[in-house]
Structure 1
């Protein structure tokens, strides 16, 4: 019997080699293949250039008015050019690195060309010569592929899969929702997404696919939330007097926002229901001390607390900071990471299991099956946006239903946070500690880089340290951006012999990265050239200047994170962005960074500038990644899907109704909890 969960190897023409090739795209099953939707569509409908906008992709038809000419420049690089008479206007057409097309361009013959329109210069950068008779008014789906899989091969496999499995594609959405929102059946949606009849049908299919994706996502979140609300958690009866003494002993006064959030968390700890709270706070707002208060409260109740960080550098830093913070108290700290030796891991996990260690700091190693806790009461995740729904749920399953506090320094608008993290309660620290100096941000063009280096020297002469961040590790033939290796060598020479320059990047072994970071913390290195490995959580109070090369290559949220690595001590701190943005959006992003240091303003502006469908932007904003739906541009649809999912789960016996059985089967396959007593 056919099933969408069949391996792609069951398809005609897909042998073992092609199975492996498809795996590189994340395609394992027939359903994976059918849901591998196009990133865009190329329409070959003939258009009038006078009605087109600049940089629009379109198809022009006309008469060839000049002999095609090939100009060669560089290794294997060339340009094919000819003039095309379109109605009464002459358009220059160019093709790059496709010299073989010359044979298809004949003087005085009619031809249709697909490409990108330059309205200012009346030029077309061609990508394809279209067969007028067979392609007119047709639409081609374009997929994200790699060297292992060509567009034509992937299209063929999708066609094969749809033809063979069309009869077993059942709609997952409840019929009343399909009718209510005028959606199309899943089978029709999949067909029109891959092989659209026309632009209108493609748009309808995309709308259905987006809603289905949002609905299934929200159904999972709401199911988790309902399950957790029905489970008994741990009532953490912390010692209030000890907690107050700890807070009073802190070397600074908590902000009102921190106090409010701590009260919210402490109320949750005492309740016999499992806490599941998201703590949002801008860079430097003091989330870590809030987490420390929550963990200490848990430990005073005789339970264990754990905190999970996304990198070993950040985990080690947390362990050091907590050791100072809890000095003299009954807090025994263990650091658990993936790079430990088998013996170290065995000894530490034994102490965790017998309860002699009551504060466990670590990376993803904390949720390994081999790690057992004696009496885990609270788990904190730092930089929550680095962890997905699966990891969040796996954390909650450790121990006897521990409370969970997730933290993120990547602010996103509250409505989006509540919707994206639908299974969590949300707390926000919207106030910075008193006396914290605003980081002064400036933007320089590449030809002004000497100004940046003079500022670096001034800071170094005052005993401060500097970060210099660049997007690439080594030289790239495709991107003209400063790379870390070259920049490191250049600055070594520039600042020698007075100052030491270090290099840090993600390809280094962990022990080497740790050594470099420790040397920077100890001020043995004064200038640290780095890739974005230092983006999250690294805390060096003596660092007062952040220089970001090719800043237009980073998202706003990422730039804000990078800027937050300075200004963590008493010194006035600065951020210098070096960039030559190529368009208006790039310019606006640089201006935003100069104008505001408020992370929530930056986040909102980032979402506005990136627009719909920018997956990179969504990832950087802490929002889950969707294949089709855009949670920013289609926030209303996402919120409606959330409401619909919650309504369905509250419907008595919804999971035994015949019309919902395909959905129940789908959820069961994915091992989701879908039934509640």
Structure 2
């Protein structure tokens, strides 16, 4: 412990600082270079990470009477060895050790497989405690381990382990770390929060997580550990957000009258949700701090026109705006739509992608650098070396989860810290929003434009596919188009699922010669995929057989049918995104799910899809059915791997942790307030990578 001098608002303040448990695990007895490497594979590098490497379950080692034991229960039996043990060997390194255990008037046979060394621990007429699985029908115990008859810990912790390090070794190291360092454990959750929510002192929490005496002790410790984990994560997000907000940005004094004129010229009235979101974003543009806002809305909710309005706001303020899309064809669609919208306004739009010809690129770059071009649309080419901006004020990132943090950061660095608006058509439930995007301000469009017809969704079995194909044929006869989606590109021996190649060949024959069929999958090159999508949009073929590469794609107004094979192999959020490829006009559209689910979860997914078109409801259900890490994918969603907390089951606690972290960090001097010293010191010594993502 020592005094650390910091400067706050021009005043020197002395703060008591306590070093965290940063010693390497190599300081513990028996931990050499190989064991350090093995522990690192579990995420254990220092004493802090070892002491917070909590067990995922406990074994109740209290001895039970035979009448209290359920069949196949793991239990401890205490008795007297009634006869000498017998050891039988069979096969290579295989053995069976048998002995009889006298418990009151009952004799219970005990068997250990492949642990011949235990024979030396079994003495006739000596007391013994054996832990194993009890077979009630045979009234015998399949032994797992022999316990010390004098042990005083009624519960044993079970830790996640791997091939590099054994369970017993982790248990021994935790004991050694506790004995050596327990006096150095400092509270990180402020005392007032601990008292208000009846949380354990941190040292008590760590002790009872590893060495509980009773089940209630373990439950109380886990509750406190969950809150601490959520709270520290939310502190990271809030501090990141505060840091971002203190970055000097650019106030964009846009022309409100010009903005109102643009909105009035639209061929439709904005929904109340769109109006609210436009106001939220424009308020940020006016502030001289950096905007970092996420705009989320369901498929077809009108995010694109909102982004167009706010980009025009930046342009009226004398700044440039950039719109980055994940694919060239989507960037081209955005550019064409914006050209039409801004046809009579002083907006100079250019499209810059990887396919832009060298001559065209050479002509665009000087105009961009001089400021003549004030709206540029493109792909990752927008932030490549040699692309210089005159006065970049706003960056809009479409389908933001398709881009890595490094890519978004590179585009930000192209200007003087321009405002960033990230858009996603993947509705994010409250749980994911709190965890994944807690450092961003979030605007939500939760209302669909008037006149948009809900997509009719039906679930059929494979045996009914002929009727579905006849329905597709009728839609084609009406001048419409259809998507057919499969999970696989080619036939697989590992799984029994339909594949795109086989469906393409079958449908090409079935619909010939009247209708043409195209094939699209992820192994194709980007320019090939873009050409196929362009041909489909131009109606050069009527049926598109594809894998999930069409999940984010261009608008094809005449596509009214989405037929999805093996639909139970997709998550709900992904099915909803695929369904959103149709219904892009005022024509009635349909989604047909073909699936023979083999479990209740698969059936539940199909039912949810047929019952609602609300992406937020679907995304929340997906979270509940699949778990947080699979909804958007770890890398896309940024969902951290919590050690003890479950952001779905513990959403109320997560929300409370967020509120408390925000309340603390709202105070400029929070880090020198006496009750926050342990927290402030802990946050100083934790790298952002512990909790941050991507």
**Aligned with 2:146: secondary structure?**
helix
**Greater C-alpha radius of gyration:** 2
Provide the residue aligned with 1:520 in structure 2.
536
Q: Counterpart of 2:625?
A: 610
**C-alpha displacement at 1:263, in angstroms?**
3.5
Q: Which residue of 1 aligns with 2:146?
A: 133
Deviation at residue 460 of structure 1 after TM alignment: 2.4
**Residue 368 to residue 16, structure 1, CA distance change in 2 (3 Å):** farther
Contact 1:544 1:574 in 2 (8 A): yes
C-alpha separation between the residues in 2 aligned to 1:648 and 1:16? 42
Distance (Å, rounded) in 1 between the aligned partners of 2:282 and 2:679: 39
Give the secondary-structure state (helix, strand or coil) at the position aligned to 1:289. helix
Separation of aligned partners in 1, 2:355 and 2:222: 44
Mapping of residues 147-546 of structure 1, within 5 Å: 150=163, 152=165, 156=169, 163=176, 167=181, 172-184=188-200, 200=216, 203-230=219-246, 233-327=249-343, 329-335=345-351, 352-363=368-379, 372-384=388-400, 399-412=415-428, 417=433, 421-546=437-562
Q: Kindly state the Cα deviation for residue 623 of structure 1 after the two structures are TM-superposed.
A: 7.7
- CA deviation string 1:270-290 (max 9, x = no partner): 344544443332211111011
Equivalent-residue separation in structure 2 for 1:648 and 1:139 (angstroms)? 37
Task: Report the CA distance shift for 1:672/1:626 in structure 2 as closer, same or farther (over 3 A).
Answer: closer
Contact kept, 8 Å, 1:304 with 1:355, in 2: the verdict is yes
Separation (CA, whole Å) in 2 of partners of 1:29 and 1:268:
42
Query: Equivalents in 2 of 1:485, 1:663: separation in Å?
Result: 57
C-alpha spacing 1:327/1:156, structure 2 compared with 1 (3 Å):
farther
1:569 counterpart residue number: 585
Residue 464 (structure 1) shift: 2.0
TM-score (norm 2): 0.71
Structure 2 equivalent of residue 644 of structure 1: 660
| CA displacement at 1:605 relative to structure 2 | 3.9
Q: How many Å apart are 1:438 and its aligned residue?
A: 1.9
Question: 1:552 maps to which residue?
Answer: 568
Contact 1:282 1:410 (C-alpha < 8 Å) held by counterparts: yes
Q: SS of the counterpart of 2:588? A: coil
Over 3 Å counting, the alpha-carbon distance change for 1:615 and 1:191 in structure 2 is farther
Change (3 A) 1:248 1:644: closer
Deviation of 1:253 (Å):
3.9
Greater mean alpha carbon deviation, residues 332-341 or residues 434-443: 332-341
Structure 2 distance, partners of 1:599, 1:44, is 44
Distance apart, 1:636 and its partner CA: 1.8
TM-superposed deviation, 1:294: 0.9
CA distance in 2, matches of 1:455, 1:575: 11
Q: What is the CA–CA distance in structure 1 between the aligned matches of 2:550 and 2:254, rounded to whole Å?
A: 36
Q: Deviations over 1:489-544 (max 9, x none)?
A: 44344434443333333343323322332232222343223232222243221211
Structure 1: state its 5+ residue gaps. Answer: 63-98, 105-110
TM-score by length of 1: 0.73
Q: Output the CA distance in 1 between the equivalents of 2:326 and 2:176.
A: 43
CA 1:13–1:457 in 2, change beyond 3 Å: closer, same or farther? Answer: farther
User: In the alignment, what sits opposite 2:647?
Assistant: 631
CA contact (8 A) 1:189 1:205 kept: yes
- Aligned to 1:577, the other structure's residue is in SS state strand
Change (3 A) 1:159 1:614: farther
Q: What secondary structure sits across from 1:133 in the alignment?
A: strand
Deviations 1:335-355 (A, max 9, x none): 455788999989866654443
Decide whether the 8 Å contact of 2:488 with 2:497 is kept in 1. Answer: yes
Q: CA shift at 1:376, angstroms?
A: 1.7
Say what the alpha-carbon RMSD is for the aligned residues: 5.0
Q: Within 2, Cα distance between the matches of 1:342 and 1:196?
A: 69
Alpha-carbon spacing, 1:606–1:350, altered in 2? closer, same or farther (3 Å): same
- Once the two structures are superposed, residues 6-38 of structure 1 have per-residue CA deviations (whole angstroms, 9 ceiling, x without a partner) of 899999777699959967x8x595489649967
Unaligned regions of 5+ residues in structure 2, if any? Answer: 1-18, 78-112, 119-129, 690-694
**Deviation of residue 568 (structure 1)?**
0.5
Change (3 A) 1:472 1:160: farther
Q: Distance in 2 between matches of 1:398 and 1:184?
A: 48
1:584 alignment counterpart? 600
Q: CA deviation at 1:596?
A: 2.0
Q: Indicate the larger mover: 617-626 or 216-225.
A: 617-626
Q: How does 1:43-62 map to 2 (within 5 A)?
A: 43=59, 59=74
Using a 3 Å threshold, how does the CA distance of structure 1 residues 17 and 51 change in structure 2: closer, same or farther?
A: closer
Distance of aligned partners of 1:38 and 1:569 in 2 relative to their CA distance in 1, 3 Å threshold: farther
The separation in 1 between residues aligned to 2:48 and 2:435, in whole angstroms, is 26
Per-residue CA deviations over 1:587-610 (Å, capped at 9, x if unaligned) read 233222212222233334444x42
Shift of 1:142: 6.1
Give the direction of change, closer, same or farther, for the CA distance of 1:430–1:190 in structure 2 (3 Å limit).
same
CA distance 1:399–1:442, change in 2 (3 Å)? same
Question: Residue 557 of structure 1 contacts residue 603 of structure 1 at CA under 8 Å; is this kept in 2?
Answer: yes
Q: Give secondary structure in 2 for the equivalent of 1:407.
A: strand
C-alpha deviation, 1:562, in angstroms: 1.4
1:493–1:285 Cα change, 3 Å: same
Secondary structure at 1:482's aligned position in 2?
coil
Shifted more, 492-501 versus 388-397: the winner is 388-397
* TM-aligned CA deviation for residue 563 of structure 1: 1.0
Contact 2:36 2:45 in 1 (8 A): no
User: Is the Cα contact below 8 Å between 2:324 and 2:331 reproduced in 1?
Assistant: yes
1:139 to 1:372, Cα distance in 2 relative to 1, 3 A:
farther
Cα deviation for residue 394 of structure 1 reads: 7.4
Q: Residue deviations 1:110-138, cap 9 Å, x none?
A: x98769x9xxxx99xxxx96515359986
Check 1:142–1:100 CA distance in 2 against 1; reply closer, same or farther (3 A cut): same
Tell me the SS of whatever aligns to 1:576: strand
Structure-2 separation of matches of 1:279 and 1:329: 25
Q: Is the 8 A contact 1:548 1:576 kept in 2?
A: yes
Distance in 2 of aligned mates of 1:411 and 1:502 = 30
**After alignment, is 41-50 or 495-504 more displaced?**
41-50
